[in-house]
Chain A
Amino acid sequence: MIGVAATQPVGRFPVGTPSAAVARFREAIRLGGTPATRGDAVPPTFPITWLAAPAVRSALAAALGGSVPESGTALIHLSQRIVLQRALALDTTYWLDVALVTGEPARGFALEATVTDAQDQPVASLAGRFAVVHRPAP
């Protein structure tokens, strides 16, 4: 369960839904070669791409003490929740507020993020839990 522990703010980042990036993502998640369900829609899982943005990753690494999630860190995604108060619009800029959930899981980290529009109205929220895989010694 996510959301009961204390959170530590990581940062506020501008994010967006550029048509080209959304189209690339939509193409990558097509189900078994079938046409995308709605060619004009932003897929509900698209916001996960925002967490991979370099600025977000750097801020996360700093918040986690520099250990994870540096580029190339092996992670196991344990769970993910995405709630959309309304559909995301194409070619739109939003704000992503990311926070670390302190204290869980023991060998990884948990994130919560909220998405707001230019008028600071809530659009979506994300919550994810990750475990870190340590590379074996060579």
Chain B
Amino acid sequence: MSARLAKGEKLPPVLLPGIAQTAIEAYLVASGDDNPLHRDPELALAAGLADVPVPGMLVLAHLAEYLGQWPECRRIAALSGRFVSPVLVARPIRIEARIMAIDTSAGTATLRITAAQEDRLAVLAEARLLVRLEGRLAQAAP
């Protein structure tokens, strides 16, 4: 995964085939999350959802993994996400990111990341990354 290290550049998008119930279950066990909303379709329906929702933090963790695969990323220093609408089980998810700012003195880049499902924004996130700046800064646009 490559993208020029320049403000406004986009990272290559990723289309996930969807997060299966078994993957949700593995995350719930690994994270200690016992929220029944992620296991019980009837409860999800009663809460007004069309299906079982994927834990928001699992989606945010996927966004972090996505950023971590960017070769310019040394480490994620900050990550925040707003769970705008539910990501539902077993439906494709599209992840995109754009570089919003670069701080050469701090060696950081700020990115806005989105996760969308069926053209609906699900997670709006922002991350501050420590990046590899050595000789890799793109020429600033005139």
Contacts and interface: CB of A to CB of B under 8 A. Distances in A.
Taking residues whose C-beta sits less than 8 angstroms from the other chain, chain A's interface range is 35 or more
Interface stretch (A4-12, A72-80, A96-104, A105-113): A72-80
Contacts of A82: 78-80
Nearest to B45: A136
Given A29-B65, A44-B76, A80 B60 contact: yes
Taking residues whose C-beta sits less than 8 angstroms from the other chain, chain B's interface range is 35 or more
A27 interface: yes
A29 B75 CA distance: 17
A49 to B, nearest CB: 5
A79 B81 contact: yes
Interface in B78-120: 78-83
B23 A52 contact: no
A52 B78 contact: no
B96 to A, nearest CB: 14
Nearest to B46: A136
11 contacts: A24-B29, A31-B14, A36-B65, A45-B79, A49-B31, A76-B53, A76-B83, A80-B56, A80-B60, A82-B78, A83-B77
